[in-house]
Amino acid sequence: MKTNFDFRTRNQLTENVRRMREIQRRCKQREAEKQECVKALWKSQKYSTVESKIKQEVLNPQTPRPSSANFLRAHSRAGPPVKLQSRPCTPDVSHKTTVPPASIANDVKLIRHDFDFIKVNGVNAKKATLPRPQSLTSLDNFKKRQEELLSHHEMGKVPGYLNKRKQEWQKNEEDRVANTPDPSMPVGHRQLPENERKDTLDLLLKKQDEVIRQMQRLPIGADTVRVKQERQSLEKQLVEVEEAIKIFSRPKVFVCIET
């Protein structure tokens, strides 16, 4: 099967150039129309005949004034000139100094003393003592003080400050032991001090002797009710006192804390 194609030759370059020129022409027409539509600035008719100063300066430029024209002239504000008085170049100081002028220096006689400086320097050198450095001097002083302390110290004697320190340590240890709670002490009790324990024990012993003497004064052969009651009361007191003596004879006594 055959197909017949109709190939038409066409100049694309010429067509593109023509089209581009057409587009440019349209753009120029649009820009011209826009410029024609611009509204002119408003200007008052009163100043229509007045020329612009900027235009005048541009057309007739003036020569610039140098900056030195604003400077002040020399001594323009200093007032009238002052006339200076001439002074001599070499002042007269003859009345201020005791040195004679050079014109009469030939008449001055120098007075010289016969002084042997070498001999004097030699004598001074023999008598001079070189100063010792401060460190060596302080070391010697320290050694002297140590020797003096050792000479005054009594050998074999304990110093007083050590004995005082031992007493302080012993007292602190006693206070610590006294303030340490006893593990065997029951709750709600306190340990009775040693002096109170001894005082209480002495009172109990005296009470025991007194009760025994009262029992000895009772009649032996009397069997009355009053005598029997009194004997029973004394025996009961004696038992209580003996029990209390046993308690307060212990090294540690605990008493209940009263609340």
Q: What is the DSSP letter of 65?
A: P
Q: Are 234 and 213 in contact (CB under 8 A)?
A: no
- pLDDT per residue of the chain (259 residues) written in tens, 0 to 9: 445 544 456 678 888 999 999 999 999 998 888 766 556 667 778 877 887 788 888 787 766 665 655 666 666 666 566 565 655 555 555 555 555 566 665 665 666 667 788 888 888 888 887 766 667 778 888 888 888 887 877 777 788 889 999 999 999 998 887 777 777 777 778 888 888 889 999 999 999 999 999 988 888 777 788 888 888 999 999 999 999 999 888 888 888 887 6
Nearest Cα residue to 179 out of 170, 168, 195, 191: 191
Residue 252 tokens read as 């540690």
Q: Are 196 and 252 in contact (CB under 8 A)?
A: no
Q: What is the pLDDT of residues 175-194, one digit of tens each?
A: 887 777 777 777 778 888 88
Cα–Cα distance for residue pair 177/172, rounded to 1 Å: 9
Q: Are 230 and 218 in contact (CB under 8 A)?
A: yes
Task: Write down the pTM of the prediction.
Answer: 0.32
Residue 120 tokens read as 């004097």
Largest interatomic CA distance in the chain: 182
Cα–Cα distance for residue pair 107/85, rounded to 1 Å: 39
Number of Cβ within 10 Å of residue 56's Cβ equals 10
Q: Is 183 helix (H, G, I), strand (E, B) or coil?
A: coil
Identity of the residue numbered 172: N
Residue 189 β-bridge partners: 256
What ranges do the domains of the chain cover? 189-256
